[in-house]
Amino acid sequence: MSIHPQLLHLIIALIAVMAWVGLNALVLVYFERKGAGFIQRRPGPFEVGPQGIIQPLVDGIKLMCKQLVMPTGADPVLFWTAPLLSMTPVLLLFLVLPYGPWLTGMQIDLGILLILAFAGINVLALLIAGWSSNNKYGLLGAARAVAQSVAYEIPLLLAVLAVAFTTGTLDFVKITEGQGPWPWQWNMVYQPLAFIIFIISAVGECNRAPFDLPEAESELTAGFHTEFSSMGFGLFFMAEYSYMVVVASVASTLFLGGYQGPFGSDGWWWYLPKVYAILMFMIWIRWTYPRVTFVQLLNINWKWLLPLGTVNLLATAFFMKLF
């Protein structure tokens, strides 16, 4: 029996992605807590392991040891599907990201489209999580999640489209190679407005503060995942951090030159710092700003990001036609 080499490649890539996603979540949790500690003038985790680096791992083990509780009146099928549905598409998203010249799980022509399509499934997961848990906070959180994700996907798409127009492709590797290694050769310089819109929408899409309304702690206790315990919550948590990594990766690929390095030093060692710079930026704003209200959130989207994104897209198309 022989396995098709492409299938083998895909399986290896998937396993690698799973490991990578888990590792990333741990590293990000550590960064988040250390970053929060730095901003709040306290040490952050520092008891477990040197400088507390084992803390996220121990937290993960603690989460796994917790009891899985399902509230009375909850829909058992949907309730347990939701966390899985939230986590699974993320693994697929990591497949198409270009980590380096030879480090891409699956290079396809429609990489951006795949990411946008599968990222949308997360909304469904949040919706059924909130709806099935028979909790009013969960329901309100789910309603917020849907309205927010649907709204913020549009400017995200417009920003991505503007880049796709200039590069003429939806393939991540080609977009990366269309940019140069130096900062003034990046798409960020040619599409500054698209970059800003992308970052704002990405924060909104990831449900991160100041746009963390679906899980607004001070209003909805925990929003859509109020009733989830143990790894049910853990999967949502991991999915959230993984989505952060995905949007940061997409941002670095589309706007910051991806894995390209000067003097032919291409590789993941250029890609990772860019991704983590964006992630640190997201952590920074989370621990700095208060949360907006829902009306303000939608106003920012429909009254500012969407018109600006449309204008940017039309202007891009106009200049592409002109030159």
User: Taking the complex as a whole, how short is the minimal distance between the CB of residue 124 and other proteins, in angstroms?
Assistant: 21
How far is CA 259 from each of CA 13, 77, 89, 178, 270, rounded to the nearest angstrom?
A: 18, 42, 24, 12, 5
- Minimum CB separation from other proteins for residue 231, in Å? 23
- Bridge partners of 322, per DSSP, are none
Identity of the residue, 165 or 281, whose beta carbon is nearer to other proteins in the bound complex: 281
Nearer Cβ to other proteins (255/294): 294
Task: Provide, rounded to whole angstroms, the least separation between the CB of residue 294 and other proteins.
Answer: 6
Q: Judge contact between 142 and 131, C-beta under 8 A.
A: yes
Which DSSP string corresponds to 207-273? T-TTS-GGG-HHHHTTGGGTT--HHHHHHHHHHHHHHHHHHHHHHHHHHS-TT--GGG--SHHHHHH
Closest distance to other proteins from the beta carbon of 291 (Å): 3
d(CA 92, CA 106): 10
User: CA-to-CA distance for 203 and 301, rounded, in angstroms?
Assistant: 12
Output the smallest distance, CB 34 to other proteins, in A. Answer: 14
Q: Cα separations (Å) of 14 from 17, 142, 147?
A: 5, 30, 31
Smaller CB distance to other proteins: residue 265 or 288? 288
Q: Which residues pair with 100 in a beta bridge?
A: 103
Nearer to other proteins, 236 or 294 (CB): 294
Q: Please say which residue, 27 or 39, places its beta carbon nearer to other proteins.
A: 39
Nearest distance from C-beta of residue 219 to other proteins, angstroms: 5
Taking the complex as a whole, the smallest distance from the CB of residue 26 to other proteins amounts, in Å, to 21
Whether 15 contacts 25, CB under 8 Å: no
- Residue with Cβ nearer other proteins (174 or 291): 291
CA distances from 201 to 52, 80, 257, 301 (A): 32, 29, 20, 8
Residues near other proteins (CB under 8 A) are: 36, 39-42, 136-137, 139-140, 143-144, 209-210, 212-213, 216-221, 287-296
Residue nearer to other proteins on the CB measure, 288 or 310: 288
